[in-house]
Amino acid sequence: MLTALGQSDRAEIRRIDAALARIAAGDYGDCVQCGNPIPDKRLQLLPDTPFCANCSP
Ligand SMILES: [Zn+2]
């Protein structure tokens, strides 16, 4: 099953893993770049983003 996953799927799993780690650490919802809170509307759209709109690459 895992071998059927494409590269983009694995990247997505890594992003979700990182988001889960931030939830566990209590950092979820804060931008990792500037430390400002990420607006709820953006988190609903991109639940696994670690960046606010200003810092998004
Ligand atoms: Zn930011």
Question: What CATH number is attached to the domain comprising 14?
Answer: 1.20.120.910
CB under 5 Å of ion ligand 1: residues: 31, 33-34, 52, 55
- Please report where in the chains the tokens 């400002």 appear, as a residue: 36
* Run means of pLDDT, 10 residues per run, the chain, 57 residues: 74 93 95 96 95 94
Look at residue 7 and tell me if it is in a domain. Answer: yes
Task: Calculate the alpha carbon distances from 6 to 12, 24, 29 in Å.
Answer: 10, 27, 28
Look at residue 55 and tell me if it is in a domain. Answer: no
- Look at residue 3 in the predicted model and tell me its pLDDT: 64
Q: Residue 53 in contact with residue 44, Cβ under 8 Å? A: no
Closest CA to 50 of 8, 5, 25, 16: 16
Residue 8 C-alpha to ligand 1 middle, in angstroms? 24
- Look at residue 33 in the predicted model and tell me its pLDDT: 96
Look at residue 20 and tell me if it is in a domain. Answer: yes
- Look at residue 7 in the predicted model and tell me its pLDDT: 82
> Residue 21's domain spans which residues?
2-45
Q: Residue 43 in contact with residue 33, Cβ under 8 Å? A: no
- Look at residue 18 in the predicted model and tell me its pLDDT: 94
Please tell me the total count of domains within the chain: 1
DSSP 32: T
Look at residue 22 and tell me if it is in a domain. Answer: yes
